Structure 1
Amino acid sequence: MMRKYWNKIKRTLQMLGIAGVSVLFIIGLSSAMKKQDKIICKNVKIDIDYTEGLGFIDEEGVRNAMSRSGISTLVGKEIKNIDLSSIEQELDKDPFILKTEVYSNTAGDVIVKVYQKRPIIRLINKNRVSFYLTENKHLMPLSDIFTLRLLVVSGNIRTGISGIDSEEKLLFEKLIHLADFIERDPFWKAMISEVEVVNESDFSIVPIVGKHKVEFGDIDASMEEKFKNLKILYKEGMKYTGWTQYKNINLKFDNQIVCTKY
């Protein structure tokens, strides 16, 4: 009987203890939230992601973008009154910024984390206007502070910096596919300097070595086989003929390479 009575008292004390801890936790949390509500912004820290070696935008550029977007001085304001998501949305409009994360800490810092767009092609359209194309089909202007060595694509391209022409969507899908293939192959990344667009289904390649042009044809299911055959010619055939014998190499025919001498 006494044991039963004691167990009942023990459970009651345990429940009171849990309730007490919960009350203390709620009081502490409420106090912390009240203190956080009163935190004043003391500093704006710009944190740019440079992990991929990109430098299209710097701290000054981010602060200028904030100023152009009408974001007034944050220092001195209560952080609870700063619309952090609005800052993200405005900075994401910058042509060099892929995405932005803005958050604060209890020390009064507002941290602006910036991720840059990564171009894979430098385009020169038919009007000789030059700009970049990213792997996500974003177009971005050239930068005054940073230059990236990329595959150059020129020729019959109508698209301008304002956006991809609706009739050239397939063309740009092919170019991204080609650039991705070249980027992943060290041999071709070192060998190819430029691609010329004749039309949406006809492309030429200008290698760094030699004085010839490669009539590649379409970028389709046969692309990898064409590159395989061309690599064999370069590695096995050119060591006998030299790199200056041919003015044209044609890959448009199935499983054939037609070379034209000077």
Structure 2
Amino acid sequence: MFRNTNFGKIGKVLLGVVAICAIMLLIAFSTDSFSSNRCKKIEINIKNADEQFFLNKHDVENLVTRNGSDQLVGKLYEKIDLREIEQRVLRNRQIKSCQVFRGVEGTLNVDIEQHIPIARILMPDGREDVYVDADGSFFPLSDRYSARILLLSGEYFRNLSSLKTKRQEKNLQFINFINEDSFLKAQFTQLDIDTNGDINIVPLVGNHIIEFGEPTNIENRLNRLKIFYNQILPVKGWDSFSSVSVKYDGQIVCK
């Protein structure tokens, strides 16, 4: 005598088994594809690489691997200290930020950002010249690439380690203002700043020195300088004056 077979119940059981197997396969696939137990390759991304050429991917890889002495490829991730690698890379002071993280398929991702210089400081105290970025951070020059930017000089920079204090905000604002104006950026080559913070500007064309004074009322003074270059010099001649001052409000004093 044959018993009735409950195909519906069997179907539900089989469906459950298939679902469990599918979930296990998905977990296994995700684990294998997203986080391999070993580092398979190093992927380096340099932000703003087209703007500055202080570093290339080979330089960064040397920092990451200690010039090859720390072979990360093939190494278990549990033995790789990502935070320590970030600190290792940041010892190069031309690098502004670094993030190291595990990517898909066992890739070790290294994302870095270079400092962007806005000026070069000619140190008056025997130290090596440095670049300064828009945040006021100093960082060293490069043997590979020399940025063609505004020069800064003068006793104001003696013993300074950055331009990040409240006192220097106006100087950074002034430098950025020049760099954002195509005419001024092309015409001004050097700012010499004395201990009191007064600025003298050395232009590219002409034999004159521009007395600017402290970096206050910046836009008004620079507009007066544009009047000098656009209206006075074409009439008087580029070599007619040895000095020009816009230090005093509402005046252009030429000598």
Q: Distance in 2 between matches of 1:256 and 1:64?
A: 56
DSSP-derived class of the 2:105 partner: coil
One-letter code of the match for 2:120? R
2:132 maps to 1:133: yes
Question: Which residue of 2 is the match for residue 30 of structure 1?
Answer: 27
Kindly tell me: are residues 118 and 198 of structure 1, through their superposed partners in 2, closer, same or farther at Cα, counting changes over 3 Å? Answer: same
Per-residue CA deviation, residues 12-52 of structure 1 (Å, 9 max, x unaligned), is xxx99x98897456423432355356543232233323455
Alpha-carbon contact 1:71-1:87 (below 8 Å) kept: no
- The TM-score normalised by the length of structure 1 is 0.80
Q: Distance in 2 between matches of 1:33 and 1:80?
A: 18
Instruction: Using the aligned pairs only, state the percent identity.
Output: 30
Q: Distance in 2 between matches of 1:25 and 1:247?
A: 84
2:77 maps to 1:79: yes
Question: Which residue of 2 is the match for residue 150 of structure 1?
Answer: 149
DSSP-derived class of the 1:199 partner: coil
- The TM-score normalised by the length of structure 2 is 0.82
Question: Which residue of 2 is the match for residue 250 of structure 1?
Answer: 245
How many positions carry a matched residue from both structures? 241
Question: Which residue of 2 is the match for residue 229 of structure 1?
Answer: 224
1:206, distance to aligned residue in structure 2 (A): 0.6
Q: Which runs of 5+ in 1 are unaligned?
A: 1-14
Q: Which runs of 5+ in 2 are unaligned?
A: 1-11
Alpha-carbon contact 2:61-2:67 (below 8 Å) kept: no
Q: Distance in 2 between matches of 1:245 and 1:19?
A: 94
DSSP-derived class of the 2:91 partner: coil
Aligned alpha-carbon RMSD (Å): 2.9
Per-residue CA deviation, residues 53-74 of structure 1 (Å, 9 max, x unaligned), is 2111122321332344997210
Q: Distance in 1 between matches of 2:162 and 2:123?
A: 11
1:190 to 186, 189, 210: 186
Kindly tell me: are residues 114 and 93 of structure 1, through their superposed partners in 2, closer, same or farther at Cα, counting changes over 3 Å? Answer: same
One-letter code of the match for 1:113? D
Q: Distance in 2 between matches of 1:88 and 1:21?
A: 44
Question: Which residue of 1 is the match for residue 7 of structure 2?
Answer: none
Q: Distance in 2 between matches of 1:19 and 1:116?
A: 54
Kindly tell me: are residues 31 and 239 of structure 1, through their superposed partners in 2, closer, same or farther at Cα, counting changes over 3 Å? Answer: same
Alpha-carbon contact 2:36-2:106 (below 8 Å) kept: no
One-letter code of the match for 1:30? I
Question: Which residue of 2 is the match for residue 124 of structure 1?
Answer: 122
2:211 maps to 1:215: yes
Alpha-carbon contact 2:131-2:139 (below 8 Å) kept: yes
